[in-house]
Structure 1
Amino acid sequence: MKSATKRSLGAAAIILAAALVLSFALSAQAQALTIERWTAKSNQDGENAVLGATPTRVTWQGQSDEGESLSQVTIELPGGSTVEASNVKTTVLNGLDRLDVGSEVSVEDGTRVVVSFPEPTPAGALIMVECNRTLLPADGGSYGPAGSYVTAEGQTLAMPSSDQVIDIVSSTPAEQLSSMLSEQDWVKAWNSNKFLHLFFDPTIIVTSVPAVFSGWLLALGLVVVSFPLAIPLGLLWSFLRMAKSRIPRAIGATYINVVRGTPLFLQIYIAFFGLPLMGISMDLFMLGVIVLVLNSSAYLAEIFRAGIQSINTGQFEAARSLGMNGAQTMFYVIIPQTVRRVIPTMTSEFILMYKDTSLLAAVGVMEIMMYAKTITAATGNVTPYIVAAGFYLIVTIPMTKLINSMEARLARGKRKRKKSGPGDRSITSEASVVPDSDVAVARSMRMSETFAGPIDDDLVPGSGRISH
């Protein structure tokens, strides 16, 4: 009985010893390599993020155990990644000494980087593998280190686990296209020219267009909302400017001269920084609309005044002979003719307001120039401003052609009236065409900041003031 008990205890001791030896061996194997670094360099302009499908540098760094030498390291990049063997760099450090181990690098399936050492690395060596110009998965995700390594004794072991991960942000189609272009030989040749690279970099054009497009929509929104509001306000200021009473006329003249005589940039600063100090706060978009409306209405007031005063005095007299009062004469006879005459000049004012939205970038309104400025600050390249200029031209060129078409149509109408000679004319038809000098004055009003005084009554037919 005692002998059986002794045999059982002996067997248990043997099993326990074997388990301890096996556990120690497994522990030793698990500690043969420790991952110290698993990172990817940020490749997003102005952000601390790693974009997929965009070249970046992936760094793997491992520390072998004091008693272990390695003959091969295999790094598994995330699925969907690509890297070329020529872009993989290996560094081996033994303490502070950098060793020339003559490693051989191969890439299998674009994702498996195999680094082989002709001679095993020294025990306890630090191994660093840098995969330059690596394209990580476009869909993004979080990935930890994976792969395997081979010891000097020929044992193949799995890569130890690590809490380090690479967080990949999914890239947009524009960013993927930019990444593809950056690899093209013709793009590299194009960017080798300093001027072309600074102003017309194809890779930056592709990524700038979507961002600047958002600002373009906001700029269009500002103008589409502001200009219709500025028209009736400008008409009101023109009535005050031509009023018979001195006080309304002085109010209109003061407003028009002050607004037209000061920079729009200053007016923007007063609205965006002065109003909050007075306890008035509102949305940036609405503030931008208010500033543009108040500024443009002053110029439209002078445009309307020039148009109204260009109407022949016979139109006023004919309306009175039909029993119309001053308001009826103005709204049913004079204003319809005035609008037809000043449409080309109003269109020019629309274009100028559209371009003036760029000044709102100085106060944080995310319009075209603000987006271009942000991208330029991140890339150090002027190309985004060229992209912004293209978006301005999308509107200004068609509008300019429209102005030319309107002016040509008015000129044809003038020639027809000259050929037809005097005859019966309705009081609501154009009895005369704006003289060339008046057209020049009207078109130059917006551009000339020095023109602030009243139009000379001797130069403009029908310049009698309307009663207020």
Structure 2
Amino acid sequence: MDYVLTILPDILKGLLLSLEIYIIAVVLILPLAVLAAIGKVSGPVFLKKILFLYTWIWRGTPLLLQLFFIYYALPYLGIVLSPFTAVIIAFVLNVGAYETEIIRAGIESIDKGQYEAAKALGMNYVQTMRRIIIPQTIRRVLPATCSEAILTFKDTALVAAIAMSDLLRSAKEIVTRDFKITPFFVAFIIYLIISSILVQIFARLEKRFSIYE
């Protein structure tokens, strides 16, 4: 137990970095996904084609490979990013692609009669989406979105691959230093606790905003 208390501060520093990446990514992902989903549903043809390529590429390749490409390959094109910036871009584009498709499906699931009703009330397209369609869509896609958000936190462990001192890498460095596997168990428990907290938070959100049809 004394050993655990000794290594805990270093591991918690890694946890703070993991949480920082997670929170910033989630905040940026949602607006991107909503706008991209609307573009895929009702944007001009050229925009739909661009968004199709975006979701096809970023959903069809591994997040780790995308992270390597952004951090290691872009410098060959003259684009040098800090590890933190590279991680945020990779997570936002990757998870945003999945969330775009989730929200797009949610928008398309809304009955077309609601668009006609909104038009009859004198609402333009923007007002219809903001006041009627998007609120219903968010409630419908909330379960899938919550699951994606939980997976995103666990995926932050991938940033250790570009030498960022997140929770996993902090534990690994201590294991290498002390030749003990205890730090891995500590990291395991912390990941489990944080994931369980997220599950409870999102379960409450789902219950609060659930719809019955």
Q: TM-score, normalised by structure 1?
A: 0.43
Query: Larger strand proportion, structure 1 or 2?
Result: 1
C-alpha distance 261-393 of structure 1, shift in aligned 2 (>3 A): same
User: Quick one: distance in 2 between partners of 1:234 and 1:242?
Assistant: 12
C-alpha distance 285-244 of structure 1, shift in aligned 2 (>3 A): closer
Which of the residues 123, 129, 132 maps onto 1:333?
132
User: Quick one: distance in 1 between partners of 2:135 and 2:193?
Assistant: 30
Which of the residues 49, 52, 62 maps onto 1:250?
49
1:366 deviation in Å? Answer: 0.9
Which of the residues 354, 373, 376 maps onto 2:172?
373
1:53-90 Cα deviation digits (max 9, x unpaired): xxxxxxxxxxxxxxxxxxxxxxxxxxxxxxxxxxxxxx
Which of the residues 83, 87, 96 maps onto 1:288?
87
1:244 deviation in Å? Answer: 5.7
The within-5 A match list for 1:407-422 is: 407-409=206-208, 413-414=211-212
Q: Name the residue aligned to 1:355.
A: 154
Q: Name the residue aligned to 1:306.
A: 105
Retained in 1: the 8 A contact 2:41–2:108? no
The percent of aligned pairs where both chains have the same amino acid is 38
1:415-464 Cα deviation digits (max 9, x unpaired): xxxxxxxxxxxxxxxxxx4xxxxxxxxxxxxxxxxxxxxxxxxxxxxxxx
Retained in 2: the 8 A contact 1:204–1:384? no
1:283-335 Cα deviation digits (max 9, x unpaired): 22222111111111101101111221121222111101112122221112111
Q: Name the residue aligned to 2:163.
A: 364
Question: Partner amino acid for 1:297?
Answer: G
Retained in 2: the 8 A contact 1:208–1:387? no
User: Quick one: distance in 1 between partners of 2:209 and 2:182?
Assistant: 41
1:242 match: secondary structure: helix
1:409 deviation in Å? Answer: 4.5
> Relative contact order (alpha carbons < 8 A, sep ≥ 6): 1 or 2 greater?
2
Which of the residues 202, 220, 229 maps onto 2:19?
220
User: Quick one: distance in 2 between partners of 1:319 and 1:229?
Assistant: 29
1:311 match: secondary structure: coil
Q: Name the residue aligned to 1:403.
A: 202
**Structure 1 stretches of 4+ moved >6 Å:** none
User: Quick one: distance in 2 between partners of 1:399 and 1:281?
Assistant: 34
Q: Name the residue aligned to 1:267.
A: 66
Retained in 1: the 8 A contact 2:142–2:206? no
User: Quick one: distance in 2 between partners of 1:227 and 1:410?
Assistant: 19
Say whether residues 1:239 and 2:38 are aligned partners. yes
User: Quick one: distance in 2 between partners of 1:241 and 1:286?
Assistant: 27
User: Quick one: distance in 2 between partners of 1:410 and 1:371?
Assistant: 38
Say whether residues 1:211 and 2:36 are aligned partners. no
1:365 match: secondary structure: coil
* Structure 1 spans left out of the alignment, 5+ residues: 1-201, 415-432, 434-468
Question: Partner amino acid for 2:62?
Answer: P
User: Quick one: distance in 2 between partners of 1:244 and 1:225?
Assistant: 27
1:362 deviation in Å? Answer: 0.8
C-alpha distance 328-408 of structure 1, shift in aligned 2 (>3 A): closer
Say whether residues 1:346 and 2:132 are aligned partners. no
2:42 match: secondary structure: coil
Q: CA RMSD in A?
A: 1.8
Question: Partner amino acid for 1:393?
Answer: L
The within-5 A match list for 1:64-463 is: 202-243=1-42, 245-409=44-208, 413-414=211-212, 433=213
1:273 deviation in Å? Answer: 0.4
Question: Partner amino acid for 1:365?
Answer: M
Query: Larger helix proportion, structure 1 or 2?
Result: 2
User: Quick one: distance in 2 between partners of 1:352 and 1:342?
Assistant: 16
1:165-211 Cα deviation digits (max 9, x unpaired): xxxxxxxxxxxxxxxxxxxxxxxxxxxxxxxxxxxxx4542332111
1:410 deviation in Å? Answer: 5.3
1:382 deviation in Å? Answer: 2.0
